[in-house]
Amino acid sequence: MSTFIALPAFNDNYIWLLLAEDGERLAVVDPGDAKPVINWLGKHPEYRLTDILVTHHHPDHVGGVAALKAGTGCKVWGPSAENIPARDRALDDGDTLKLFGQTLEVIAVPGHTLGHIAYYCENQGDPWLLSGDTLFAGGCGRLFEGTAEQMHSSLNKLAALPAQTRVYCAHEYTQANLRFAQAVEPENADIRVRLEVVDDLRAAARMTLPSDLALELLTNPFLRADCEAVTQAASAHAGKPLSPGLETFAAVRAWKDSF
């Protein structure tokens, strides 16, 4: 079960569909709008929606949940610490769930919201991660409810997963994120090359996801707060010396907020 389809929603959201190998069942991730999912199901009547996976409570992630559950009777999974509409099973850090024969691990990743969770699947050596609005391609989520310390800790959890883990996040922010990353590390050749590729993809109206952790570790400044170049850039921007790690991360997150 590693077939993913992205349905665009709103201005820059992606609603991910996970298709079972039996060609009959599917799960939906963070359906902020029911219409794209209903339209897809109408064109693929052989599939039935059995599960909805929710990462956090923001309206652009849960706005379509109740309608889809009412229309299909599917099961809704979501974080226990947040108000998730029509939720059947409340999930906490370390919980597991079975989906189409595979085991998904729940990872608490507070920061963007206080109860945000991610879903990780080892997938027989081809791992993948549903990161919601915590880890983006080239970036991370804003701190709407949590602290820099919480987000830094959450990202460190995700960064410790296998490097080949494919990252399915919820927004098409890659180009803007990498432009910021280049401002932080103008001498980083990996960022330069990645941004060139992403610029070409966006010019052709193509999506830039999924990413993978190996690439993120090379190009995402929020995963590189221990790197000397990032600490030096953050210190220069802040106008004072900063320590690697959390202090640098907090400064880079504040820098990005006004970039």
Q: At 76, which CATH number? A: 3.60.15.10
Q: Which of 112, 116, 152, 212 is catalytic?
A: 112
> Any catalytic annotation for residue 199?
no
Q: Against a cut of 0.85, is the pTM above it?
A: yes
Q: DSSP for 171-200?
A: B--HHHHHHHHHHH-TT-HHHHHHHHHHHH
Digit-by-digit pLDDT tens for the chain (259 residues) are 569 999 999 999 999 999 999 999 999 999 999 999 999 999 999 999 999 999 999 999 999 999 999 999 999 999 999 999 999 999 999 999 999 999 999 999 999 999 999 999 999 899 999 999 999 999 999 999 999 999 999 999 999 999 999 999 999 999 999 999 999 999 999 999 999 999 999 999 999 999 999 999 999 999 999 999 999 999 999 999 999 999 999 999 999 999 9
C-alpha to C-alpha distances, 92 to 54, 81, 118, 186, nearest whole angstrom: 12, 8, 10, 39
> Any catalytic annotation for residue 93?
no
> Any catalytic annotation for residue 30?
no
Residue type, 214: A
pLDDT at 2: 67
Domain count, the chain: 1
Peptide bond into 210 cis (omega under 30): yes
Q: Which domain holds residue 108?
A: 3-257
Q: Which residues have CB under 8 Å from 83's CB, separation 6+?
A: 57
> Any catalytic annotation for residue 112?
yes
> Any catalytic annotation for residue 61?
yes
> Any catalytic annotation for residue 57?
no
Angle in degrees, 0-180, between the axes of helices 228-238 and 174-184, rounded to the nearest 10: 80
